[in-house]
């Protein structure tokens, strides 16, 4: 388990800003930080493991023994909320919540420290504000009994209480660790903003929907730009909006968060994240990449084609962009650098392939969009394959164009015997996407359960075929899965509450009316959607943007004659393009971190790749068959 002690206590016990008192205070804070990390990360890891066992047991009981576990989904749902909240707390402890830090990182050291403190105090404010409504909400749920297990629903909702309480304590420890001087600056800045909004409270109630601009643009913009976790930013904006401009009870925020995080199909998120980590650990990813490299490694730009193909294949297994890039880059980049590829070109292409494969199943974004819009996840899985290939072709054309004038590579063409050998070795890995697809289509497992089929398949392949299985890595992988899942799920929760507030305000009706009556019908609607989601993807990332605007825009797309699966593909790829586009796209910085290449080196090369992706998205938007041609009628 990785702690944040080095980041929280950078100045040591002798710094003038250190917590006053005995010299042992920093060590006590470090101990408190370590203990808080353990009391969330250990249960989170165990919950991930429990969900894997429970879901796969459900598949076996139903498909093999024909005795379905009638209580299985209910228990999975109870454990899932606990996984979401302990995972969110683990992410806070590890510093892995989704944040926009592009602007903060460009500030000087002193200003960056101030912004980090403001972000921390604002997070603390949100957690403090939500504490009382959480307590009221659990009291509301106290008398509700679950239908199958017949247990009190408050035991499930207690997960929110536990998660908020631990995150509140973590934030206090982190604030104390900064030292009084820095903490006071952050408190004063946040207090001034709060006082200003509170003073304006009576006037705000008369502004009507202008409050949406103040809170959901102003407050969200300020907190996101300060580097505050996006989930907390959304939650703080909703609390501010409801408490200062309406008379609605604040427990609604908690109930909407519960609704957003408790959708059982989202349980596929942690399962596929763990599967992605597993295929990298077992050597399955390396087997696929080695086979592709034997086919194309000898041609100009050959390993660039391998990178595009490898990202496509691995995205079809892991569903996690972070896992995809971490599986591919360390294997390919050293050899590509030996062949003269510039680091900036490498990270630019890696980022572009991240955007290219956003629709390749089982993408977490596909699962999310299906859960919030009601579109069939099976149809999305089928429709997402060809759009990814179209963008892969666009990237390969640009790779060919850029490599056409380079000197021939020194690598020799692999002999047929070597290619055949590598093909045989890679067959179990290449078969995994087929196994996953078959299990869903043939009804062996649901879209939520199928990831566990892939996990068991990968375990067997790693132990018996590739014989590369490090048991010591399982525990860190479970913790990492929980942390990343919690960071995603709490965004979905707070974004759901924000979407509810937008709907209650009447904004959704106004937006729907505006988009529906655009001149040009479906063409104009699609064009505006592309530009809007490119922008949203760069600022909010894909998941919160989908939760906020998907339920509003998908019905309009249907009304103007656009197939919902095609619209989903265009929306997801547009957001992916924004997510991996500098200077704001956080996916780009994730690619830089994975490849250990400075972000400045990829700024110029990535422009061409983003243009290629944009033209590919236009083709997908203009030709519906690419997205819906293989759907069952």
pTM of the model: 0.77
Residue 152: strand pairing partners: 145
Q: Does residue 283 fall inside a structural domain?
A: no
Q: Does residue 137 fall inside a structural domain?
A: yes
Q: Which of 539 and 85 is assigned the larger pLDDT?
A: 85
Q: Does residue 154 fall inside a structural domain?
A: yes
Give percent above pLDDT 90 in the chain: 24
pLDDT for the residue numbered 359: 87
- Are 94 and 83 in contact by the 8 Å Cβ rule? The answer is no
Q: Which of 25 and 501 is assigned the larger pLDDT?
A: 501
DSSP annotation of 214 reads I
Q: CA 150, 152, 155, 157 torsion: positive or negative?
A: positive
Dist CA 102 CA 587 (whole Å): 11
For the stretch 436-449, pLDDT in tens is 878 877 778 877 78
- Are 360 and 612 in contact by the 8 Å Cβ rule? The answer is no
How far is the CA of 621 from the CAs of 144, 218, 390, 569, in angstroms? 47, 33, 12, 8
Tokens (6 digits) for 149: 């297990």
Dist CA 273 CA 340 (whole Å): 33
Helix 343-356 and helix 385-403, axial crossing angle in degrees, nearest 10: 160
Give CA torsion, residues 230, 541, 303, 396, to 10 deg.
-170
List the domain range (segments joined by +) for residue 59.
5-12+25-261
DSSP annotation of 219 reads I
Tokens (6 digits) for 335: 């050899």
Cis peptide before 77 (omega within 30 of 0): no
Residue 619: strand pairing partners: none
**What distance separates the 2 farthest-apart alpha carbons in the chain?**
79
For the stretch 161-172, pLDDT in tens is 999 999 999 999
Most confident of 75-79, 249-253, 538-542: 75-79
When divided into structural domains, the chain yields a total of 1
For the stretch 320-339, pLDDT in tens is 676 677 767 777 777 777 77
Q: Does residue 40 fall inside a structural domain?
A: yes
Tokens (6 digits) for 174: 């982190």
Tokens (6 digits) for 44: 């989170």
* Cα-trace Rg, the chain: 25
Q: Does residue 326 fall inside a structural domain?
A: no
Q: Does residue 277 fall inside a structural domain?
A: no
pLDDT for the residue numbered 499: 76
Dist CA 85 CA 164 (whole Å): 8
- Count the neighbouring beta carbons within 10 Å of the beta carbon of residue 416: 9
Q: Does residue 122 fall inside a structural domain?
A: yes
């Amino acid at each position: 388990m990785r702690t944040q002690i080095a980041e929280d206590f950078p100045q040591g016990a002798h710094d003038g800003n250190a917590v006053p008192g005995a010299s042992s205070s920093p060590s006590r804070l470090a101990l408190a930080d370590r203990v808080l990390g353990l009391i969330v990360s250990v249960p989170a890891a165990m919950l991930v493991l429990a969900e894997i066992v429970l879901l796969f047991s459900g598949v076996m009981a139903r498909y093999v023994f024909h005795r379905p576990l009638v209580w299985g989904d209910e228990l999975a749902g109870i454990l899932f909320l606990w996984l979401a909240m302990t995972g969110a707390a683990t992410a806070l402890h590890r510093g892995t919540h989704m944040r926009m830090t592009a602007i903060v990182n460009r500030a000087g050291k002193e200003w960056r420290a101030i912004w980090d403190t403001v972000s921390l105090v604002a997070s603390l404010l949100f957690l403090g504000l939500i504490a009382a409504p959480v307590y009221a909400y659990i009291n509301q749920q106290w008398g509700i009994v679950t239908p199958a297990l017949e247990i009190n629903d408050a035991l499930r909702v207690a997960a929110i209480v536990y998660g908020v309480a631990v995150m509140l304590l973590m934030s206090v420890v982190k604030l104390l660790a900064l030292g009084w001087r820095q903490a006071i600056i952050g408190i004063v800045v946040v207090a001034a903003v709060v006082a200003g909004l509170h003073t304006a409270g009576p006037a705000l109630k008369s502004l009507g929907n202008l409050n949406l601009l103040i809170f959901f643009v102003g407050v969200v913009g300020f907190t996101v730009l300060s580097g505050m976790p996006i989930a907390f930013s959304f939650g703080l904006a909703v609390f501010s909006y409801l408490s200062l401009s309406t008379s609605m009870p604040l427990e609604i925020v908690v109930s909407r968060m519960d609704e957003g995080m408790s959708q059982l199909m989202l349980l596929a998120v942690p399962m596929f994240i763990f599967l992605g980590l597993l295929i990298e650990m077992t050597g399955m990813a390396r087997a696929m990449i080695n086979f592709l490299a034997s086919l194309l490694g000898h041609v100009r730009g050959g390993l660039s084609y391998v990178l595009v193909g490898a990202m496509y294949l691995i995205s079809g297994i892991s569903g996690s962009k972070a896992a995809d890039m971490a599986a591919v880059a360390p294997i390919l980049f050293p050899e590509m650098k030996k062949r003269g590829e510039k680091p900036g070109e490498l990270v630019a292409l890696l980022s572009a392939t991240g955007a290219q494969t956003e629709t390749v199943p089982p993408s977490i974004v596909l699962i999310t969009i299906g859960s919030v819009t009601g579109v069939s996840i099976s149809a999305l899985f089928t429709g997402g394959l060809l759009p990814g290939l179209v963008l892969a072709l666009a990237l390969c054309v640009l790779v060919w164009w850029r490599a056409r004038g380079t000197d021939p590579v020194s690598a020799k063409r692999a002999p047929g015997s070597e290619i055949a050998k590598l093909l045989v070795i890679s067959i179990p890995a290449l078969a995994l996407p087929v196994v996953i697809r078959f299990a869903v289509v043939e009804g062996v497992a649901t879209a939520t359960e199928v990831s566990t089929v892939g996990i068991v398949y990968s375990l067997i392949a790693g132990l018996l075929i590739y014989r590369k299985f490090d048991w010591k890595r399982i525990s860190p992988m479970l913790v990492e899965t929980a942390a990343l899942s919690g960071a995603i799920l709490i965004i979905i929760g707070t974004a759901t509450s924000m979407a509810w507030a937008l709907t209650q305000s009447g904004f959704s009706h106004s937006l729907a009316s505006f988009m529906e009556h655009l001149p040009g019908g479906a063409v104009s609607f699609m064009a505006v959607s592309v530009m809007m989601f490119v922008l949203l993807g760069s600022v909010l990332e894909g998941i919160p943007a989908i939760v906020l605007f998907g339920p509003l825009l998908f019905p309009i797309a249907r009304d103007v004659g656009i197939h919902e699966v095609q619209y989903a593909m265009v929306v997801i790829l547009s957001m992916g393009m924004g997510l991996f586009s500098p200077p704001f796209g956080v996916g780009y910085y994730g690619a830089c971190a994975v490849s250990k290449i400075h972000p400045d080196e990829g700024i110029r090369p990535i422009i061409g790749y983003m243009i290629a992706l944009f033209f590919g998205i236009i083709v997908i938007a203009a030709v519906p068959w690419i997205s819906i041609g293989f759907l069952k009628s």
